[in-house]
Amino acid sequence: MFESVGFLSADQWMRQLFSSRAARDGGVVRRKVRDVERIVGCQAFEAEVRRRGFRAMQNGAQYVVFCNKVALRLIE
């Protein structure tokens, strides 16, 4: 389904990301957009974020994922 990166498959990479301590604790994780594109694809990544009920933003070259269902408030 996805490209293999080093010793991790794309599925493993996604599972590892969302099983990280920060994600499990309802915190924040971030990943470079180019890495997401290369490893799993942006559509698959965004679909997984939605499936989990999380919120995410893209800021420049980074995805920032809020691993909880709390509403966001943008501070400019």
pLDDT of 4 higher than 80 = no
Bridge partners (DSSP) listed for residue 17? none
Distance, in Å, from the CA atom of 75 to the CA atom of 26, rounded to the nearest integer, reads 20
Domain-by-domain residue ranges, the chain? 4-66
pLDDT digits (tens, 9 = 90+) for 24-76: 999 999 999 999 999 999 999 999 999 999 999 999 999 999 999 999 999 99
| pLDDT for res 5 | 56
The Cα 67–Cα 23 span in angstroms is 5
Enter the pTM of the model: 0.85
Name the nearest CA neighbour of 63 among 31, 41, 40, 39. Answer: 31
